[in-house]
Every structure is written in structure tokens, then in C-alpha cells.
């Protein structure tokens, strides 16, 4: 006889939302499996300083993701590294496929965050195809005398610019809006670190010339060219839900964290949404009314 293990819940993504969900499912005694394609921690590991956690002080993104790793480890949560390629449903069960295996469960929580947007700038698709664009500041290589061109002057762009500057990079932030729309603490850091910000611009074109990337912008009807070694794009994103496209059985399939289009993109919201989702899963699987 073939024994097939059936989990109560498979959770995809181990960022704040997935770990929050895994923690609560484990507290509630559900048989769960957490699957993550990269590191536990998700995008919060990119944050320079997280101000709004349930703590009496701000902490670094590295420390925040360290806490998430400890939750998974200390609670003995069943965790595997792997990229989920697809989720299907069949006869009341969900089947989650990684490259190596299929996992069966009664319910699924999708906590896969978002897919970054690519702004509409002439030439950007070609740079993207050539792998000349980055979406995360970590892992970028510092180049002497060549600034990092950060496209997007929101909180993620400015926070990443501060991290780059503190790591010795020369950096310029470009923003379409007339002034930076970020929280005052971050604005203070941008100013204190002397980060160059170019506001109120229109992007014209971007292209590669050998090793160098050239960004062509218009500001106050004048044309400017900026040269850099790399481009970092931080202009928001959309829910990362391709693994559940076309799935018909949705009753016990849940989406939480940044993958949920209605949420603000904050770690505590994602973590709390994970907990909330785990409570709903527990209640539905138990068959009890709320």
C-alpha cells in the first residue's frame, strides 16, 4: 500500500506572512508544511530599520528576519527549501508541486509577496532581458566613481538608497513626484546621509553602453543624462499569484500578506494577516462555526 501524507495546510512563502501563519497553525496543532524558495524572512531582510514591530525599539531588517528564522527553528516547524511551481486541486485536496515533489493538503496558504513592477521607460525591457536591472539592493556590487541609479522615490527606494549609501555606494534617487512622499524619520536620514534626489522628472530612455547604463530624463523642460553601473527599480509591485492561476477549488485556499492586494505592505500587517489566516483555516478545518 502506498502511504501518502496529507497535511492540514501547506504554506508557501516564509516571509512575515508565511511565518505568522505557520506559527499560529503550529500553536493550533495543525499538521503543516512551510515551503520557501529563498531565505526565511522574505523582503523584510532588505529593510534598514524597522520601526513598527511589537517591540519597544526599532531593529534592522536582518534582525527581524533572524526572529522569523528562530520562530521556524524553535517551534520545530516542518520546513523545506524549494520553489513551488504550481498548485492544483483534486477531489477536495490541494497538490503543491515543487521541482522535486508533490505535497498533498486539505488547505493551502499562499504568502508569496509581490512581483516588482517595471516602470514604462523606453529601453528598460531590453535591459531587463539582459539581466542589467536589480530589484533588491542586497547583493549589488559597489563600483568606484559610478553611482547606483535608484528609480522610485517611495519608502522602499529611499530606504534602499540609505542602505546603499551606508555601505559605501554613491547613489542617486529619481522620482516623478515633485517631492519625496516618505515618513519624516526616513526623510531625515536621506538628508543626513546627503543622498542626491532628483524630483519632478520624466523618464525618456534608458540604455546600456558597454558596462555603463545611461538614463535620459527631462526636468523643467531640460534634458539630462546620468551614467551608472546598475539600476535599482523600486516602483511597487503586484500580488505574486501565478502559482494558483486557473485553480478551480478556492474554498480552502487563502492568500495573505503582501500577496493580498488589499493590504498595505508592512511586515506587522503581513505577520498579523498570516495569524488571522491561520485562525480561519483552523476554524474551517474543524468544521466549527466562528
How far apart (Å, rounded) are the C-alpha atoms in residues 109 and 111?
A: 6
Residue 278 within binding range of ligand FAD, rule CB under 6 A: no
Cβ atoms of residues 133 and 231 within 8 Å: yes
Residue 42 within binding range of ligand FAD, rule CB under 6 A: yes
Residue 77 within binding range of ligand FAD, rule CB under 6 A: no
Shortest Cβ 103–ligand FAD spacing (Å): 12
Residue 231 within binding range of ligand FAD, rule CB under 6 A: no
Q: Which is nearer to ligand FAD, 103 or 203 (CB)?
A: 103
Q: Which is nearer to ligand FAD, 59 or 214 (CB)?
A: 59
Residue 160 within binding range of ligand FAD, rule CB under 6 A: yes
Q: Which positions from 134 through 153 interact with ligand FAD, judged by CB under 6 A?
A: none
Q: Which is nearer to ligand FAD, 43 or 229 (CB)?
A: 43
Nearest to 199 by CA among 219, 184, 215, 216: 219
Q: Which positions from 2 through 31 interact with ligand FAD, judged by CB under 6 A?
A: 12-18
Residue 23's contacts (CB-CB under 8 Å, 6 or more residues apart) are 71, 75, 77, 274, 275, 278
SS (H, E, C) 87-101: EEEECCEEEEEECCC
Question: CA separation (Å) from 153 to 169, 195, 231, 241, 284?
Answer: 17, 12, 13, 26, 42
Give the interface with ligand FAD as residue ranges (CB under 6 A).
Answer: 12-18, 35-38, 42-44, 46-47, 50-52, 83-84, 111-113, 156, 159-160, 240, 243, 257-259, 265-268, 270
Amino acid at each position: 500500500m502506498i502511504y501518502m501524507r496529507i497535511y492540514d495546510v501547506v504554506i508557501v512563502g516564509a516571509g512575515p506572512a508565511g511565518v505568522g501563519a505557520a506559527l499560529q497553525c503550529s500553536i493550533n496543532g495543525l499538521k503543516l508544511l512551510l515551503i520557501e524558495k529563498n531565505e526565511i524572512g522574505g523582503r523584510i531582510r532588505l529593510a534598514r530599520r524597522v520601526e513598527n514591530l511589537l517591540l519597544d525599539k526599532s531593529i534592522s531588517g536582518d534582525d527581524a528576519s533572524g526572529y522569523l528564522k528562530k520562530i521556524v527553528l524553535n517551534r520545530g516547524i516542518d520546513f523545506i527549501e524549494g520553489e513551488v511551481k504550481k498548485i492544483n486541486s483534486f477531489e477536495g485536496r490541494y497538490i503543491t508541486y515543487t521541482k522535486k515533489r508533490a505535497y498533498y493538503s486539505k488547505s493551502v496558504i499562499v504568502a508569496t509577496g509581490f512581483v516588482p513592477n517595471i516602470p514604462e521607460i523606453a529601453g528598460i525591457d531590453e535591459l531587463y532581458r539582459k539581466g542589467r536591472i536589480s530589484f533588491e539592493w542586497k547583493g549589488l556590487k559597489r563600483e568606484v566613481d559610478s553611482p547606483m541609479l535608484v528609480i522610485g522615490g517611495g519608502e522602499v527606494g529611499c530606504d534602499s538608497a540609505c542602505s546603499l549609501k551606508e555601505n559605501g555606494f554613491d547613489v542617486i534617487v529619481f522620482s516623478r513626484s515633485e517631492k519625496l512622499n516618505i515618513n519624516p524619520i526616513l526623510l531625515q536620514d536621506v538628508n543626513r546621509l546627503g543622498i542626491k534626489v532628483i524630483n519632478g522628472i520624466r523618464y525618456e530612455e534608458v540604455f546600456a553602453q558597454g558596462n555603463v547604463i545611461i538614463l535620459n530624463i527631462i526636468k523643467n523642460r531640460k534634458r539630462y543624462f546620468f551614467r551608472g553601473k546598475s539600476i535599482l527599480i523600486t516602483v511597487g509591485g503586484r500580488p505574486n499569484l501565478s502559482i494558483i492561476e486557473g485553480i478551480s477549488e478556492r474554498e480552502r485556499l487563502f492568500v495573505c500578506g503582501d500577496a493580498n492586494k488589499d493590504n498595505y505592505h508592512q511586515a506587522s500587517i503581513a505577520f498579523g494577516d498570516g495569524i488571522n489566516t491561520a485562525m480561519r483555516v483552523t476554524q474551517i478545518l474543524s468544521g466549527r462555526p466562528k
